[in-house]
Amino acid sequence: MMDTSAFVHALLAQPSYRGQIVHIEHIPRRQAEYAELEQPLEESLHHYLREQHLLPLYTHQAEAINYARKGMNVMVSTSSASGKTLCYNIPVTEVVLSEAGSCALYLFPTKALAQDQLRTLRDYPRLSRDVSTFDGDTPQEERAGIRKSARVVLTNPDMLHIGILPNHQSWSRLLRHLRYVVVDEAHIYRGVFGSHVGGVLRRLRRLCRFYGSNPRFICCSATIANPGEHAERLVGLPFRVVASDGSPYGGKDFIFWNPPIIDEAKSVRRSANSEASSLFAELVNSDIRSLVFARTRRLTELIYNYTRKRLAETSPAQAKKIKPYRAGYLPEERRQIEKELFGGKLTGVVATTALELGIDIGDLEATVLTGYPGSIASTWQQAGRSGRSGDKSMSFLIGLDSPLDQYFMRHPDSFFGKSFENALVNPDNPYILRAHLLCAAWELPLTSRDEEVFGSAFERERMVLEGEGLLREQKSGRWYLSPKIAYPAQGINIRSTSGENFVIVDTSTDSLLETVEASVAFFQIHPGAIYLHQGEAYLVNELDLTARTAYATPTSANYYTQTKELTDLRIVRVLRGKTCGQARVYLGEVEVTTTVVGFKKKAQFTEEVIGEEPLDLPPQHFPTVALWFDLPAKVVARLDREQLDFAGGLHAAEHAAIAILPLFALCDRNDIGGVSTPLHPDTGRAQVFIYDAYPGGIGISEKGFDLVEQLWQTTLRAIEECPCQEGCPSCIQSPKCGNNNKPLDKKAAQLLLEGLLKK
């Protein structure tokens, strides 16, 4: 067993150690708790599970299986490596063995997870020939055979949306005999993607009803705050929740590692990527099998290259025992790395979140998280990749220069003592619901009975589509798709709200590089932009708005680009209001207009601005949901007396609140936008707005409205406790500010937030 304390003492003795360890949480071992099933297992299945050392069952496994056998929909929300797969594999195997022709459908967010589960299921008794994956990698010559005879089909929501449901006649055997639908890693389905998956699952239920089946759903998730609500919003049916974890745990030392400050005046810290590379090299030199998580593909390659160079100088043999792993690699390359990591040939891997989910990669002893992943659920998922064998393990969380990371570095109790976040989905988002109603009408004509599946917003959105000429009532009470729409699923990207894309063409080879969603195109592929594709840099020379095409060439530029934009927001309708402290807080529908007016060129690594250029692009408009609040008159008067910058205080409070909001909602900072102004034309008052950065909204602002006082309190603490004088990236500066982080006033922001919280 690894001696974690000896490794920590070795780190403390390093010449480069400058007090980076700010907290060590000793998470104790936990003994397994077992339970019996209400009815015994089928004999061959019992024999197989006993041979694989998967019996006796943990309490949560037995509870979930008992519910499933009674015909209930089940949501299992327990920790990493707690054996959740048995919660669905056992009920599915039992029904396939006992009922002739019965079928099951498994949904995974990635192809790698489906392949991993395929290997497991093919070992189950009498299942080897009945289980198949069906996704974009499935050879064309095998597809007809899968449709004809497979009884357990493993796929992903994208293929279900675009390949299976629109061609349901070819899948009628499966749909008619479908007994179980398994939705694994359900916490991944949140925000826009989750809301779309909610639409896809409702279409699946509708077609099952047409074919006469009524499958039960088994969902599995990492630990989240609202597992029952999330499953019910996702699927549209009632669920029983299993959240009491009976699996054993080997214990973990979870270390919060804060890079040291290298510029006291500006409160600038040493690079988190450099710290990750240093830690990774020490772990590999100590033969500790490790996994490092990086936020982006580019950083994955960067940390790998740094570490390989360090190891080449100190222990060349170890330099060959690490590899990077990320999306963009060929499937066979990824499978090879997984195999080498599982088999012990590699000591360590640097990865994006592609390895966060439950692919079996063996018994790792340590994980390094380069920056807070954006949610407590994801943090535990990544940390949980080490220690899966039941032995003690170690995890490091390296703090970035951001308000939320630095808040946790100063308040580790807020991480370890806090309940998990809420996973948010909004299948009633009008843009998302309309898209799936068009897909559903292609599959079968809509009827008023479909309100049972799509919910109370069905009638309103169907009428909107009818008014736009996209649906037509041909027979009384039956709505058909307009003939001008061909195969609507093809044009709907379930990982975005717009469904419209721009393409990037490499002019050096005249080949298609990739597609970019329309809503972010102006920010990523404007003329002059540096665009990264699989680690390679491309310079965008031209953006053709009519053809929705960007033309780019490979470049060796040593800078990256960041847009400058102006944002205007108009209030459309107030939905709710309440008084908190001395201020009124509102939730409502708004119209956001964003105009990209230019971009900065920033040097890699130093972040120095080396040039600025203007842009002439049309404004983008979208409706969404926002929360906003008034400012108490006494506080405004005090700022005036103390000659502080009122606009700078509003702007700083807005930045900090946006950075802290992901603490309460399972979202990313980029999912939220903000506007602050000393005088808003719709209210005649100073306002701070925080809005969902997606058309129609996905529930983030609503969660912020419900918890606004907690948001103010935590934001105030983050600003007060930051050691900088004037404001820095760790408190009030934003990396995505279109106004170049001007004006900002840290002291004014503190006084504003204090005033909001006074009773």
CA-closest candidate to residue 84, choices 60, 104, 106? 60
- DSSP-derived 3-state class of residue 291: strand
Angle of CA points 725, 727, 731, to nearest 5°: 120
Tokens of 665: 């909602």
Which residues sit opposite 564 in a β-bridge? 598
The confidence score (pLDDT) of residue 535 equals 55
Name the amino acid, one letter, at 646.
F
The confidence score (pLDDT) of residue 753 equals 97
The confidence score (pLDDT) of residue 616 equals 94
CA-closest candidate to residue 240, choices 214, 213, 215, 218? 218
Cβ–Cβ under 8 Å, residues 709 and 715:
no
Which residues sit opposite 254 in a β-bridge? 25, 395
The confidence score (pLDDT) of residue 419 equals 67
Letter string b/e over residues 554-573, b meaning 16 or more CB atoms within 10 A of that residue's CB? eeeeebbbbbbbebebebee
CA distance 635 to 534: 50
| 3-state DSSP helix/strand/coil % of the chain, to nearest 5 | 40, 25, 35
The confidence score (pLDDT) of residue 370 equals 96
Q: In the chain, what are the domains?
A: 43-242 (3.40.50.300), 250-416 (3.40.50.300), 430-489 (1.10.10), 501-557 (no CATH), 564-598+615-757 (no CATH)
Strands 348-351 and 478-481 come out as unpaired
> What is the DSSP secondary structure assignment for residue 496, as one 8-state letter?
S
CA distance 241 to 231: 9
- For 225, phi then psi, to 5°, come to -75, -25
Local mean pLDDT, 10-residue blocks, the chain (759 residues): 87 94 95 96 95 96 98 94 94 94 95 85 87 92 95 96 97 98 93 92 98 98 90 98 94 96 80 94 94 84 90 92 77 78 88 66 86 86 82 94 92 83 86 95 96 96 96 89 90 72 90 81 93 78 94 91 91 97 94 93 77 94 95 92 95 95 80 94 96 89 94 96 89 82 94 92
The confidence score (pLDDT) of residue 358 equals 54
The confidence score (pLDDT) of residue 24 equals 97
CB-neighbour burial class of residue 252 (10 A; exposed 0-12, middle 13-18, buried 19+): buried
CA-closest candidate to residue 581, choices 651, 652, 630, 646? 630
The confidence score (pLDDT) of residue 492 equals 85
- Helices 297-314 and 272-285, packing angle to 10 deg: 50
Cβ–Cβ under 8 Å, residues 177 and 103:
yes
> What is the DSSP secondary structure assignment for residue 483, as one 8-state letter?
T
The confidence score (pLDDT) of residue 459 equals 96
